[in-house]
């Protein structure tokens, strides 16, 4: 795709106020693939004003009509599926088959789910002598990450539109081209001017301006816990609603009696998917001491098969971060089973699939989110010990439990302090709520729970 040299404002592509630009680089070979404007506070202000002006008419549009717009958006995205996959591969570096199957296909399904939900959701209910109305919260500032760049855009924009909100989107600076392609699809779908606006820019500049803008009613952010804390503080000072989807250090708990080979192989695949750049990745594998050595051997063999099929990480900065964590794991006494801190290629931002054994719960690699293809395998004594280890981080986003007896797995999962748990390899459900406990965030995305984040309640008494 050709990058736009403007921002999408009030239904049209317009020049940004400044001349600063962001270079978009392919992580595979470090080649320049595009340039976009680095919008500033003036651009954010113009976009928020456009969204504010469009709000009354859009909020008053019947939900079924809003659903029809979302269906048109879904169709516009579906028509561009190949172009979207190629664009994400160019700026994120993910292998094209994965970009097609996940990065492009899942957002289309999510958009479709909100097209249906807008038309069927109960936006009012009767409680005794009261009628409770669910109304749009207002103007939404959406700040999205680079790791699943289109999915995270759709997971915010689609429910906000279904709710009757208007939006200003600030996408990650590493992956802005797919955001521009999304804006083109919005335009094709015929959304009224000002309902959706796009400002590309740097997080500390455009993102900060959006988070603190007095015309924004809700800030929805996905990214690191450190930045989420800043946004929450900014929004809290203004008594502004926030939805935060932050970091994770999810546990993959393999109980005795589980299919060990399947649990380990699926667990390794989960961590290596998207080059480990997944907030919900099961980066801690917990195995009973009696099966530990066998699990480590299986994991090493599984990880070694990936080679560079997983693609690079997104940037040189991210590569340095991940390799630094691998070095720290070695320094703290974890046993390197496969992979390591040496970059496997001279050019591009590559990290070898890495597995650590003999990891203890207090090690840095068992506590902090690495966001790369790095798996830590920990041993446990019994179920209570496994639970202590699983719950023993500041995060609580996702997890997995494997057992021969499904009821046993469910009982364990119910005791985990985490927002989502896969039982014996349960599949991702785009209509189930996604979000975390503890420092993994505030609020939920996807499905009806994701829609209610963008609604506020008003009760009328009779």
| Residues 449, 131 contacting (CB under 8 angstroms) | no
Angle between the N-to-C axes of helices 63-79 and 105-120, in degrees from 0 to 180, rounded to the nearest 10:
170
Of 322, 401, 376, 311, residue with least CA distance to 348: 311
Rounded Cα distance, 188 and 151, in Å: 19
Q: How far is CA 156 from CA 91, 218, 281, 387, 455, in A?
A: 21, 11, 21, 33, 13
| Residues 370, 329 contacting (CB under 8 angstroms) | no
For every residue of 205-240, DSSP letters joined together read IIIHHHHH-TT-SEEEEES-HHHHHHHHHHHHHTT-
Catalytic residue among 91, 212, 279, 453: 279
| Residues 321, 364 contacting (CB under 8 angstroms) | no
| Residues 80, 185 contacting (CB under 8 angstroms) | yes
Rounded Cα distance, 105 and 84, in Å: 9
Catalytic residue among 245, 369, 445, 453: 245
| Residues 41, 142 contacting (CB under 8 angstroms) | no
In this structure, the strands spanning 399-402 and 422-423 are: parallel
Q: Catalytic annotation on 294?
A: no
Q: Catalytic annotation on 279?
A: yes
Question: 395 is written with which tokens?
Answer: 């995060």
Burial 177-187 (b: 16+ CB within 10 A, else e): bbbbbbbbbbb
Residue numbers annotated as active site: 245, 279
């Amino acid at each position: 795709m050709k990058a736009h040299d403007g921002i999408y404002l009030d239904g049209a592509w317009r020049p940004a106020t400044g001349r600063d630009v962001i270079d978009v680089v392919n992580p595979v070979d470090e080649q320049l693939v595009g340039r976009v404007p680095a919008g500033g506070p003036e651009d954010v202000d113009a976009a928020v004003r456009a969204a504010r002006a469009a709000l009354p008419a859009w909020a008053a549009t019947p939900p079924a009509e809003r659903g029809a717009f979302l269906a048109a958006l879904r169709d516009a995205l579906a028509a561009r599926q190949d172009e979207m996959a190629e664009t994400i591969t160019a700026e994120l570096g993910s292998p094209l088959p994965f970009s097609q199957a996940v990065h492009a296909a899942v957002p289309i399904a999510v958009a479709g789910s909100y097209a249906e939900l807008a038309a069927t959701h109960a936006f009012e209910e009767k409680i005794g002598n009261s009628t409770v109305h669910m109304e749009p919260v207002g103007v939404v500032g959406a700040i999205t990450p680079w790791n699943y760049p289109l999915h995270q855009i759709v997971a915010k924009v689609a429910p906000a539109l279904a709710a009757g909100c208007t939006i200003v989107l600030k996408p990650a600076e590493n992956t802005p081209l797919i955001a521009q392609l999304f804006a083109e699809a919005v335009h094709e779908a015929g959304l009224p001017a000002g309902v959706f606006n796009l400002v590309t820019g740097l997080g500390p500049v455009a993102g900060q301006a959006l988070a603190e803008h007095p015309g924004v009613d809700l800030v929805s952010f996905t990214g690191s816990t450190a930045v989420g804390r800043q946004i929450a503080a900014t929004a809290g000072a203004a008594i502004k609603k926030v939805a935060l989807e932050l970091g994770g250090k999810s546990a993959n708990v393999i109980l005795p009696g589980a299919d060990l080979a399947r649990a380990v192989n699926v667990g390794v695949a989960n961590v290596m998917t998207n080059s480990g750049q997944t907030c919900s990745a099961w980066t801690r594998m917990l195995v009973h001491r009696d099966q530990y050595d066998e699990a480590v051997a299986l994991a090493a063999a599984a990880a070694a098969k990936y080679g560079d099929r997983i693609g690079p990480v997104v940037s040189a900065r991210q590569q340095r971060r991940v390799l630094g964590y691998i070095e720290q794991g070695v320094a703290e006494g974890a046993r390197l089973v496969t992979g390591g801190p040496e970059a496997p290629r001279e050019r591009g931002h590559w990290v070898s699939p890495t597995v650590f054994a003999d990891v203890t719960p207090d090690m840095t690699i068992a506590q902090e989110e690495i966001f790369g293809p790095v798996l830590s395998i920990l041993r446990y004594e019994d179920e209570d010990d496994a639970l202590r280890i699983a719950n023993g981080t500041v995060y609580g986003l996702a997890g997995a439990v494997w057992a021969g007896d499904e009821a046993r797995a469910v009982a364990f999962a119910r005791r985990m302090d985490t927002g989502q748990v896969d039982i014996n390899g349960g599949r991702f459900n785009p209509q189930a709520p996604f979000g975390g406990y503890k420092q993994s965030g505030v609020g939920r995305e996807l499905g009806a729970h994701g829609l209610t984040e963008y609604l506020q309640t008003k009760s009328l008494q009779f």
